[in-house]
Amino acid sequence: MSGTDSQRRAAVLGSPIAHSLSPVLHRAAYEELGLGDWSYDRFDVDEEALPGFFGQLGPEWAGLSLTMPLKRAVIPLLDGISETAASVEAVNTVVFTEDGRRVGDNTDIPGMVAALRERGIEQVDSAAILGAGATASSALAALARICTGEVVAYVRSAERAAEMREWGERLDVEVRTKDWADAAQALHAPLVIATTPAGTTDALATAIPERPATLFDVLYDPWPTELAARWSAYAGSVVSGLDLLVHQAVLQVEQMTGCAPAPLDAMRKAGEHALAAH
């Protein structure tokens, strides 16, 4: 995995990885920034193969994006991680410094905050989260920055409920949990963050109030989800998973290349074009 002296490399790792939009977004940024000697690839790497992959990286490597199932598995392989990554025990960005260190960060959390800020959401007095997986903990960490009151998480099991309350304590967010059977109540919150897999929230689309506030649905393919489409039809504000993907990628590009600001609009257009073609 060596390259020429001038070449700089980056990539996204995960398993499965074939449908990742990260190469589209990062390559669009390189083109816009005039970084003709930079390349960005994707590699299907699972937890078992990760140490070996790291072991063969040469000095031409600038950084890595990480998706499931590697966001926690990578931490022991790093020289340090940011406070943001430590807060949720998840790394989605690795930067290789000039002195040879491998430093982990989490751009999902500030990416969520930036995506909301772009839609004029600077602060909310309460919020609801649908789901309790890894993305839900990132959502809680984002809400720690912008929510002044209670967060209600709608979950399917007592175990998940306990996990979300524990994350709330760690992140200093007031978290109350409710059963998924009551999830329609979430739709009345000033900010609803849906972190569940495709199809999970479809049944809630018929329960949207007359004047919904803001929905942040972290999915982007297929898009729009049933919930997001109906939310828009009711004139509610919708933030998509592509918004999140682009904003977290902007931060990755800036960290890996040292070029700021990264070209948000060009990256978003490239992502939209790729999804439309797909």
Report, as residue numbers or ranges, the catalytic residues.
Answer: 71
Structure tokens at 37: 């000697």
- CA atoms lying within 13 Å on the CB side of residue 163: 16
Contact (Cβ atoms closer than 8 angstroms) between residue 243 and residue 118? yes
Report the C-alpha gap between 278 and 138 in whole angstroms.
Answer: 28
Q: Under DSSP, is residue 127 helix (H, G, I), strand (E, B) or coil?
A: strand
Q: Which pairs with CB-CB distance under 8 Å and at least 24 residues apart come from 46-53?
A: 46/15, 46/70, 47/73, 50/13, 50/74, 50/77, 51/77, 53/13
Contact (Cβ atoms closer than 8 angstroms) between residue 23 and residue 41? yes
Instruction: Count CB neighbours of 16 within 10 A.
Output: 10
